[in-house]
Copies of this chain bind each other. A is one copy, B any other.
Amino acid sequence: MPNSKYLKTIIIDRVNGDEITEVEDVTIEEARLTVYLNDEKIISMMCIPKDQIAHTIGFLMSENVISNVDDIQDIKLSEDGLRVDIQAAVDTDSLQNLYKEKTLVSGCGGGITGNVAGDLEIPFNQTSFVISPQTISSEVKKFYADSELYKLTGCVHKAMLFLEDKSVVTAEDIGRHNAIDKVVGKCKICKLDTTKSVLFVSGRLSSEMVVKAVMHRIPIIVSRTAPTYLGVQTANIHGITLIGFARGKRMNIYTHQGRIHG
């Protein structure tokens, strides 16, 4: 069974009307990952302890604490997989914001919101990347077909970056935010270009999800479910094409529809 390392077998009581049966069941692992940046503890995150290095890099870049993967001098994961130590040149203001803002997020995966709402100036996304509705529909279909952990536990979110050369990078986590940070981190490590890509996510599109796309210059974001009004506004203001309710041949285009045509 793939990914079985992150599944734990337990004994449960299954109820069906008046019948109760003792059965084996699987649940997903959840752990607290602690990040030490330049020898200082900066954050703990509840997550699936998988792709921890990519997760850490993606998170710090989403928060603008690290602006380029080349600014990382050293990064290592502890043997138990619960601690990442990273040495890097940081943006001091954004690191301070991480401490001060303490914004609670609305979405699965938690986190301090991207610094877009703060002082950081992000130019309007004018990338001319184009994709057809047919390609979106077929990628959404594959996106769900490939989600092994989700099928087994019903308890994970997935994120996927569809790149210009039609290759895809994926990540799963119990949190929506984490899944995005992981997939972006993987691309950053491999120096894959996220500025001409589509971000597919399994969860709802609240403003923080859109902020992550803004931070990484991802021009298009697609979900099977709904955006919030602030998510739509954020996408609109920053030049992001936002698509929700992408199911079968249907989808709703909320903003900047110019990037979607046959």
**Contact surface of A with B, Cβ cutoff 8 Å:** 8, 10, 12-18, 20, 25, 27-32, 42-47, 98-99, 101-113, 117, 133, 153-155, 173-178, 203-204, 206-208, 225-232, 245, 249-254, 257, 260, 262
Contact = CB atoms under 8 A, between A and B. Distances in A.
Given A104-B46, A110-B105, A111-B104, A231 B18 contact: no
Given A110-B111, A226-B27, A226-B154, A232 B10 contact: yes
A30 B211 CA distance: 14
Contacts of A232: 10, 27
A250 B14 contact: yes
Contacts of A174: 106-107, 204, 206, 228
A101 B32 CA distance: 11
A93 to B, nearest CB: 17
A106 B226 contact: no
B249 A17 contact: yes
Chain A contact residues, majority secondary structure: mixed
A73 to B, nearest CB: 23
Nearest to A254: B12
Contact of A251 (B15, B106, B208): B15
Nearest to A155: B226
Contacts of A46: 103-106, 113, 206-208, 230
Q: State the oligomeric state as a number of copies.
A: 2
A102 B34 CA distance: 10
A14 B253 CA distance: 6
Given A104-B43, A174-B106, A252 B12 contact: yes
A191 to B, nearest CB: 26
A252 B15 contact: yes
Nearest to A105: B110
A25 B252 CA distance: 9
Contacts of A257: 13, 20
B154 A225 contact: yes
Contact of A108 (B106, B155, B173): B106
Given A12-B254, A254-B10, A104 B155 contact: no
A13 B252 contact: yes
